[in-house]
Amino acid sequence: MAPPVVRGTAAWRYFGDFRDALLAGQVLVLQVAHPVVAAGVRDHSDYREDPWTRLMRTVASLSIYVYGGTKGAQVEASRLRRLHRTFTGTADGRRYSALDPGAYAWVHATLVMAPVEAQRFFGRPMSTSELAEYYAQMCGIGRILGIRERYLPQTWPEFEQYYREMIAGFGPNETISTLFETIDTVGKPFARMSDRRWSKLQKGYSAGQMFLIRATLPPELRDRLGLQWTDEDARKFARFCRAARMLGTVMPPSLRTLPMRVVGKLNVWLRERPWAYRFFVRS
């Protein structure tokens, strides 16, 4: 039985750490590198037309898994499975489903790995005991989400091996190219923001996102995608990591995870009150 996610445990401390957001682009690339996920996103996602709303929905959903309690996670898991059951289509002449067990498990795997890598890059790497507790908790969440046992390696070292083997089989695809184009041309996040102001911010935002993607992708996949990485880039990223590490060091763990925990609790409250959810959240 998985350890509960309560205050002070590994998943509580690390899953919602604000530095995890620095890996958002990397996680998206890794997810759509899977051919079934790529096809599903290509055919059914509206992220190209409205990436900011899609981002907020994703953050809200993720927050419930860890910080919404077991009941909240179960409700969100049922909602996701109902939603993804309708995402079917054809890719390379073969039928696919968004609930394909391997693809569904891979999306979860990228979310399991992201906080571990965020700490390795921008914080203090998790200890062996922390990794064991964290992975056991995330496996428990995976079971709630409906991940099959065969896709949940029993130990963290086995999970790392599975993760490396999956990445070894990935390469360029149309959806990754579209994702990069979307990052490069993303529209303003708020309708009231002036076009002039966003035009000044957009270039820096896009360049920063692509830099973090190039910096944090596994080097072998970065090379296969044709993304350049220079010694100067490595030095710049090292300086950025030191700054992020220092910022995290001066903040207590409870503050590092506060935004995600608040979003998780708020979303549980909203989903228990459909009238409020419909009022505050666009369908």
Q: What is the per-residue pLDDT for 279?
A: 63
Would you state the structure tokens that stand for residue 117, as one six-digit string?
A: 């890598």
User: Is 3 a domain residue?
Assistant: no
Length of the chain measured in residues = 283
- Residue 268 within any structural domain of the chain: yes
- CA–CA dist 221, 250 (Å, integer): 34
In-domain check, residue 2: no
On whether residue 282 sits in a domain, the answer given is no
Tokens of 134: 């964290």
In the chain, the number of structural domains is: 1
281 is a domain residue: no
Q: Along the 283 residues of the chain, how does pLDDT read in single tens digits?
A: 788 888 999 999 999 999 999 999 999 999 999 999 999 999 888 777 778 777 777 888 888 888 888 888 888 888 888 888 888 998 878 898 888 999 999 999 999 999 999 999 999 999 999 999 999 999 999 999 999 999 999 999 999 999 999 999 999 999 999 999 999 999 888 888 898 898 889 999 999 999 999 999 999 999 999 999 999 999 999 999 999 999 999 998 889 999 888 888 777 777 667 666 566 554 4
Residue type, 239: R
Residue among 134, 114, 119, 133 nearest 218 (CA): 114
Distance CA 112, CA 166 (A): 14
Are the C-beta atoms of 248 and 255 separated by less than 8 Å? Answer: no
Distance (Å, whole) CA 215 – CA 218: 8
pLDDT at 94: 85
1 domain-assigned: no
Within a domain: 28: yes
Q: One-letter amino acid identity for 225?
A: L
Residue-number span of the structural domain to which 80 is assigned: 10-276
Q: Answer whether residue 204 is part of any domain.
A: yes
Nearest to 168 by CA among 30, 17, 67: 30
